Amino acid sequence: MPPEQRDPAYLWDMLDAAKAVCQITVGVRYDQYLANRTLQLAVERAIEIIGEAARRVSEATQNAHPEIPWRPIIAQRHVLAHEYGEIREDRIWRVATVHVPELIPKLESLLPNPPSVPGNP
């Protein structure tokens, strides 16, 4: 199967994880985030999934959609997966509350009919 044919699945994974980040951080303040290690790990894992899926999106699709910040997304995944001692919670919080919400409509525009998952809007 050509890489481009797998891209919709990877884009869906990115969208699903991005929506999860938004769902688990809704109504949460930064101080609450810092005080909740379980929440931190959940957010970090979802951001890592976004980056892993982005890494697998074909170069052709990445080049066709420069509105998606592919390199920073993939770089964040690398930090989470391999340089976890370097994780700065303030940066993860900004990614989770600013950059991920901005990413969702961009991904939705690439997936006009994303499959519905029970429990996800």
**Integer Cα distance of 54 and 62 in angstroms:** 9
Question: Which of 28-37, 61-70, 107-116 is predicted least confidently?
Answer: 107-116
Domain extents for the chain? 3-110
pLDDT of residue 117: 53
End-to-end CA distance of the chain: 31
Q: Residue 39 pLDDT > 60, yes or no?
A: yes
pTM for the complete prediction? 0.87
Going by pLDDT thresholds of 50, 70 and 90, the confidence category of residue 2 is low
Name 56's Cβ contacts closer than 8 Å, sequence gap at least 6. 6, 10
The pLDDT score that the predictor gives to residue 33 is 97
Q: Summarize the confidence of residues 2-10 as an average pLDDT.
A: 82
